[in-house]
């Protein structure tokens, strides 16, 4: 693989941006297609399907055979509120394979004793989400029922098109 392609692919992965590595199996040439890039025809439809499903596979398009290697960010769960619901939700999400992050500015609730082995931010969601923005591969659960804490995160989730 071309080192530039590998570097670009790694940059996309670090930034939590989806990309598909398209390899022409006839001549071995690679290119990266980022989510949102326009690719026409049958190949474009196959790439769109790879973004939607996360499945890597070979496809026939335009008289050629391509291998589409989908690189999607790992889904994650961000929970707004270190409340009793979060104490049950975090272990279930981890069992399901989701990395979990809990955000709550109330330091009486957001403690490592209440949430062992969970990424915990005892800060306002506005501050945390500026550093680590939500994306379409993120599920957000806002469970404080306090608009001062939940509302910014809910708006950010809608703007980022979080999947939940």
Nearest 5°: CA angle at 121, between 120 and 124? Answer: 150
For CATH 3.40.50.720, list the domain ranges present in the chain. Answer: 76-160
Question: What pTM does this model have?
Answer: 0.82
| Phi/psi at 44 (5° precision) | -60, -40
Q: Which pairs from 88-91 meet CB under 8 Å and 24+ separation?
A: 89/141, 89/143, 90/115, 90/118
CATH of 76-160, picked from 3.90.1310.10, 3.40.50.720, 3.40.50.11540, 3.40.50.1820, is 3.40.50.720
Q: What is the pLDDT along the chain (164 residues), one digit of tens a residue?
A: 788 999 999 999 999 999 999 999 999 999 999 998 999 999 999 999 999 999 999 999 989 999 999 999 999 999 999 999 999 999 999 999 999 999 999 999 999 999 999 999 999 999 999 999 999 999 999 999 999 999 999 999 999 999 99
First and final CA of the chain: distance in angstroms?
Answer: 36
Output the six-digit token pair for 54: 């996360």
């Amino acid at each position: 693989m071309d080192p530039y392609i590998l570097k670009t692919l790694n940059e996309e992965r670090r930034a939590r941006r989806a990309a598909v590595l398209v390899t022409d199996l006839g001549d071995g040439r690679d290119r990266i297609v980022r989510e949102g890039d326009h690719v026409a025809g049958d190949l474009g439809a196959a790439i769109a399907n790879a973004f939607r499903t996360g499945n890597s596979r070979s496809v026939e398009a335009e008289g050629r055979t391509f291998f589409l290697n989908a690189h999607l960010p790992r889904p994650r769960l961000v929970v707004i509120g270190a409340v009793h619901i979060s104490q049950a939700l975090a272990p279930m999400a981890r069992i399901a394979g989701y990395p979990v992050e809990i955000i709550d500015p109330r330091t009486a609730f957001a403690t490592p004793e209440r949430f062992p082995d969970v990424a915990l931010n005892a800060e306002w969601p506005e501050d945390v989400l500026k550093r680590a923005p939500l994306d379409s591969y993120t599920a957000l659960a806002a469970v404080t029922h306090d608009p001062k804490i939940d509302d910014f995160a809910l708006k950010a989730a809608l703007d980022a098109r979080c999947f939940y």
